[in-house]
């Protein structure tokens, strides 16, 4: 039963007693994965055993080799964490076993503050550090607006790195080196912000590797269509992902949501009711802070929207 889909698509099937290997999932495109053996061999094209298995880039897996370059993923090792987004009906995996999120914004195209806020909450809920990159600071006309929009996030304590990855590559490399070294980092951001340009700056031969995988996984070339992990020369990994327009967080609890807003945290014990949802409750310390300007109304609106979305899920 489990191997039938493999035959149907013409994929090689491991012979009985096939050699098992251990590897890291370095690319995902639909149900096709590339697995880099941990012992350093060439990556294998793998598909998961069984219809429902969900494999994420960053996973450490056990595979059975069907041939020198094809295999079947038979087991996923326990993950440190798994970042994903979700709506009412389904979830979509970003990547696993991460240390931090690099949220890539740019002076242009105009970035979405809604997506930025969601990424920051997701990072916190999944136990990841978050760093914001403001790219394309060489686009002088759009820089003041971008800085003004980001000032409140800087005031909240988020780390923001300004750079021009294409415009001033050496300075960008310098700004990134201390942040990326030895850590597993996922790049997240809307299309056109410069995620892949950043990868190509930091990872030698990334461009060539991307072309290779584009043809192996049958996808386009310019805009990124699959998630791809690159080992960094000095240790750690950088994961490029396709630009996204939606970041549903229907899977987060209300506790995770309220803690995901750093400006809420010191006030949470000040609400009259211990189970206050900070929406309409009397004696709410968060609503009081919104009313007198200590918390931005847009941030509270995002919180309320996320609570609403989370309540739509049948748990
Ligand atoms: N002006 C300017 N343009 C840049 C800079 N960095 C990247 N770009 C350009 O921005 C465009 C988009 O860059 P990509 O790296 O493909 O963006 P991406 O975030 O990977 O986009 P998706 O793969 O669609 O998600 C390209 O034309 C880059 O050359 C920069 O520092 N300054
Ligand atoms: Mg890209
Ligand atoms: Zn409250």
pLDDT tens for 246-302 read: 999 999 999 999 999 999 999 999 999 999 999 999 999 999 999 999 999 999 999
For residue 143, the CA-to-ligand 1 centroid distance in Å is 16
Q: How far apart are CA 231 and CA 180, in angstroms?
A: 11
For residue 15, the CA-to-ligand 3 centroid distance in Å is 60
Q: How far apart are CA 309 and CA 82, in angstroms?
A: 20
Residue of 143, 194, 195, 224 best suited for mutating to test ligand 1, as the one with most atoms within 8 Å of CB: 194
Confidence category of residue 4, pLDDT binned at 50, 70, 90: very low
**Residue 49 confidence (pLDDT):** 87
Q: How far apart are CA 195 and CA 116, in angstroms?
A: 15
Peptide bond into 109 cis (omega under 30): yes
Closest CA to 157 of 238, 266, 250: 266
For residue 204, the CA-to-ligand 1 centroid distance in Å is 18
Over the chain, what is the mean pLDDT? 90
**Residue 16 confidence (pLDDT):** 75
Contact between 32 and 40 (Cβ < 8 Å): no
Confidence category of residue 205, pLDDT binned at 50, 70, 90: confident
**Residue 210 confidence (pLDDT):** 60
For residue 105, the CA-to-ligand 1 centroid distance in Å is 10
Please give the sequence-ordered ranges of beta strands (E in DSSP) within 254-301, or none if there are none: none
**Residue 226 confidence (pLDDT):** 86
Contact between 221 and 82 (Cβ < 8 Å): no
**Residue 225 confidence (pLDDT):** 82
Least confident of 30-34, 116-120, 180-184, 196-200: 30-34
For residue 145, the CA-to-ligand 3 centroid distance in Å is 32
- Which ligand ends up closest to the CA of 135? 1
**Residue 14 confidence (pLDDT):** 75
Q: Which residue has the higher pLDDT, 209 or 160?
A: 160
Q: How far apart are CA 315 and CA 311, in angstroms?
A: 9
**Residue 188 confidence (pLDDT):** 96
Residue nearest to atom 9 of ligand 1 (CA): 194
Q: Classify the C-alpha dihedral 55-59-61-66 as positive or negative.
A: positive
Other beta carbons less than 10 A from residue 210's beta carbon: 21
**Residue 12 confidence (pLDDT):** 64
- When pLDDT is averaged across residues 59-67 and rounded to a whole number, the result is 94
Residue of 175, 197, 230, 241 best suited for mutating to test ligand 1, as the one with most atoms within 8 Å of CB: 197
**Residue 3 confidence (pLDDT):** 38
Cα dihedral: 142, 148, 153, 157 (round 10): 110
* Residue ranges lining ligand 1, Cβ < 6 Å: 135-136, 138-139, 164-167, 189, 191-197, 223-224, 242-243
- When pLDDT is averaged across residues 80-108 and rounded to a whole number, the result is 94
- Helix, strand, coil share of the chain (percent; to 5): 30, 25, 45
Confidence category of residue 220, pLDDT binned at 50, 70, 90: very low
Q: Is the pLDDT of residue 214 over 90?
A: no
pLDDT tens for 130-139 read: 999 999 999 9
Residues with CB under 5 Å of ion ligand 2 are 195-196, 224
Q: Is the pLDDT of residue 53 over 90?
A: no
For residue 300, the CA-to-ligand 2 centroid distance in Å is 31
**Residue 251 confidence (pLDDT):** 93
- Which ligand ends up closest to the CA of 244? 1
**Residue 252 confidence (pLDDT):** 95
């Amino acid at each position: 039963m489990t191997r039938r889909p493999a035959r149907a698509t013409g994929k090689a099937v491991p012979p009985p007693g096939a050699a098992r290997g251990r590897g890291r999932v370095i690319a995902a495109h639909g149900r096709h994965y590339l697995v880099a053996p941990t012992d350093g061999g060439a990556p294998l094209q793998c598909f998961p055993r069984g219809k429902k298995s969900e494999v994420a880039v960053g996973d450490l897996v056990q595979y059975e080799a069907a041939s020198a370059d094809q295999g079947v993923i038979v087991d996923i090792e326990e993950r440190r964490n798994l970042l994903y987004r979700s709506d009412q009906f389904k979830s979509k995996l970003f990547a696993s076993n991460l240390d931090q999120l690099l949220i890539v914004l740019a002076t242009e195209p105009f970035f979405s503050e809604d997506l930025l806020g969601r990424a920051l909450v997701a990072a916190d809920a999944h136990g990841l550090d978050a760093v914001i990159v403001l790219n394309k600071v060489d686009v002088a006309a759009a820089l003041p607006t971008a800085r003004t929009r980001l000032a409140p996030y800087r005031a909240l304590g988020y780390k923001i790195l300004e750079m021009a990855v294409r415009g001033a590559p050496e300075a960008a490399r310098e700004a990134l080196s201390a942040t990326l070294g030895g850590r597993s980092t996922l790049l997240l951001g809307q299309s056109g912000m410069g995620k892949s340009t950043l990868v190509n700056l930091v990872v030698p031969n990334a461009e060539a590797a991307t072309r290779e995988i584009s043809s192996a996984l049958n996808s386009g070339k310019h805009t990124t269509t699959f998630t791809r992990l690159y080992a960094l020369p000095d240790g750690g990994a950088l994961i490029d992902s396709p630009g996204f327009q939606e970041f549903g967080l229907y899977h987060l609890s209300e506790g995770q949501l309220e803690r995901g807003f750093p400006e809420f945290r010191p006030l949470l014990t000040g609400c009259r009711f211990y189970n206050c949802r900070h929406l309409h409750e009397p004696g709410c310390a968060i609503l009081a802070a919104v009313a007198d300007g200590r918390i931005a109304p847009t941030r509270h609106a995002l919180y309320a929207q996320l609570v609403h979305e989370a309540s739509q899920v049948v748990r």
